[in-house]
Chain A
């Protein structure tokens, strides 16, 4: 006697908000293409019970000057393009980026403090070098972020950039700049479901439409608290699908930055022999961190190493059934 099995399908009331990064000429910007993220009505890749119209996007991080604290394994992957954001943006596009993330440092290459004029110049150059949508993050120091990002917002008016880092302490300035010049923000909170939701509400209350808020719940790297980021994202996503409007923003996370600052990725000497080959370990550290977070609901991952990016791309392609 044959057993019949009914496929267990979940019906959710809510869905993730679809958000467009970048604007083409017709839309008031200069991007060659735009990138849509979000829009799914089920958990990641469960096409059998819901739709997932847009694959998770990969942003490649470049910086406005050669990073002073990157692992040699990473710098070796990009070589001399890391000295020049224009070349770097082109190389990132060639490496398969959907989106470019430009990180502005606190200091310029000559050691002088970064300023609005330099930020404008670099953003303008990168916009000319690539047709991909752009995310621009400040150095992560609230005052300097405000100074640089307000200038960037004005310089790139209408481009639908994602501006950051938009946190509890400075969201008013960044969100106002985004509002005034047609951009989006990343709403960043430290690995907590309620804080994530609350900041989206605060930014939305200022008048920035929800379609222009990307949620950035942050994560730890593999071995350094990834389980917190993993579960916070899973809970946020379930809340979104259950209809909680203020958690329905697509999620951006930065596994590249997180993975590459831990010892396993950064250091090759005086570590246990059982850790294995340094470059192999480092690249997998980023790959594993990013892929685990995509499986739990990340819509946009910011990555660093071309090989890790290639592996994660392969996974996304397969999971989208392509």
Chain B
């Protein structure tokens, strides 16, 4: 749990030497509490205080990093239970599992690596591949790792039971830092040794109880492994929700270090039919998974889940915006219509994609609505006649057109009168309510 400025002050030398750059120790303590200063700036802090402060300032959910050929995925460092309290920081990495008994692993790996969709200007893709030692044979496992490593540079998770299989696989990892899954009560000593040797994070698998998980984590920490990932051992909807909620609460509200690690989930193992896998993954994206390993990949499923992850992990304080201004679509001519929308990026892309897709030329005037969608901005008073008129003036659109024709989004038809008043000489029209209907509208009234 983060310390307050006063608690930090008590651990400082209290000499007000100013060498840290702040006038007093108290001022420095306040800056430390606000995370606007580094403890290293104080040359006189005692070793004991330093340890206490460092322990208190460690994030409640440890940051875990996997990497392959410089391509990294990170999970952890979360500080809240609900995204509206601040934000969720590290979008849960989504992996797809392959098995060392699968045919043509290289081709499969390439297919997963090639999957990418553009969502409001953000490229969404899968984060890595989990390779399972389904054969039970260390040599076959190593060959599978070699095949995948040779095909793609994606981050990896190694899944096996036998420590010898991990040894064989690590020999073929070729510099990658994978997650090793998993240490359980039966093999944790050998697994801890391998994790230490290969400097790879280690997953810890419990038996469905928090005690089993915390006990294993404690033993493995004592053996010198710091980077852990937790598998509580539960699989279904209700058990994973319950345990993930409890673990996140313990980490964040109780600063319970033994469970202060990202959680790994395997939604495909918790459902009766593979069609339910994405539904369980939905729950886990929102409720506290730190790594998700899918068993069934199709582009349609991956697209939906990656978009949900993007949405849930968007900072609520900073809606994704585009720059207000005048956008030219399909080389508009002076007589082309001026369409109006807001600078919420989802809104902007919905509209611009439709106009572009229709192949019809238009001017798109993006008003500054503080990053809100049309209806939300209108309800909040951030998208009105004044803002639209201001957009018209600041973009000098009038100098580029011969016909002053402005099309309002259909959901704000009520603005028509006010906009007519604010923009004398303009012909104001009401367009469709949904972006998807713009092509039909433009074809009717080009």
Binds B, one of A33-41, A80-88, A120-128, A285-293: A285-293
Most buried by A among B84, B305, B434: B84
Known: A4-B211, A227-B311. Is A284-B300 also a contact (CB below 8 A)?
A: yes
Q: Which residues of B contact A45 (CB under 8 A)?
A: 238, 241-242
Q: Which secondary structure dominates chain B's binding surface?
A: helix
Tell me whether A230 is interfacial, beta carbon within 8 Å: yes
CB of B153 closer than 8 Å to a CB of A: no
Contact among A190, A230, A321 for B376, CB-based, below 8 A: A190
CB contact between A275 and one of B250, B286, B303, B350 (< 8 Å): that residue: B303
B331 at the binding interface (Cβ < 8 Å): no
How far, in whole Å, are A5 and B217 apart by their CA atoms in the complex? 13
Q: Is the CB of B117 within 8 A of A295?
A: no
Contact assessment for B303 and A281 in the assembled complex, using a CB-CB cutoff below 8 Å:
yes
Distance of A227 Cα from B308 Cα, bound (Å):
8
Task: Please pick, from B84, B218, B246, B300, the residue contacting A8 in the complex, using a CB distance under 8 A.
Answer: B246
Which chain A residue lies CB-closest to B272? A314
The reply to whether A5 and B214 form a contact with Cβ atoms under 8 Å apart is yes
B3 CB-CB contact with A under 8 Å: no
Task: Flag if B436 contacts A227 (CB, 8 Å).
Answer: no
Complex Cα–Cα for A288 and B284 (A): 12
Contact B300 A277 (CB under 8 A): yes
In contact, A224 and B350 (Cβ under 8 angstroms): yes
* Contact residue among B236, B253, B304, B375 (Cβ-Cβ distance under 8 Å from A222): B304
Contacts of A238 in B (CB 8 A): 82
A281 CA / B308 CA spacing, docked (Å): 13
| Of A3, A46, A315, the contact of B258 (CB 8 Å cutoff) | A3
Q: Does B287 contact A (CB under 8 A)?
A: yes
Q: Is A110 an interface residue (CB 8 A)?
A: no
In the complex the two chains form, is B279's CB within 8 Å of A281's CB?
A: no
Residue in contact with A311 in the complex, picked from B210, B245, B275, B357, CB distance below 8 Å: B275
Inter-chain CA distance A69–B270, complex, in Å, is 37
* A180-211 interface code vs B (CB 8 A; 1 in, 0 out): 00000000001110010000000000000000
Assuming the A-B contacts A228-B376, A263-B353, A284-B278, are A223 and B311 also in contact, with contact meaning beta carbons closer than 8 angstroms in the complex?
A: yes
| Chain A interface residues toward B at CB < 8 A | 2-5, 7-8, 45-48, 190-192, 195, 220, 222-228, 230-231, 234-235, 238, 261-264, 266-267, 270, 272-277, 280-281, 284-285, 287-288, 291-292, 295-296, 311-312, 314-315, 318-321
A-B contact pairs, 14 of them (CB 8 A): A47-B238, A192-B376, A223-B119, A223-B311, A226-B308, A227-B316, A234-B83, A263-B353, A263-B436, A264-B303, A284-B301, A295-B286, A295-B287, A315-B237
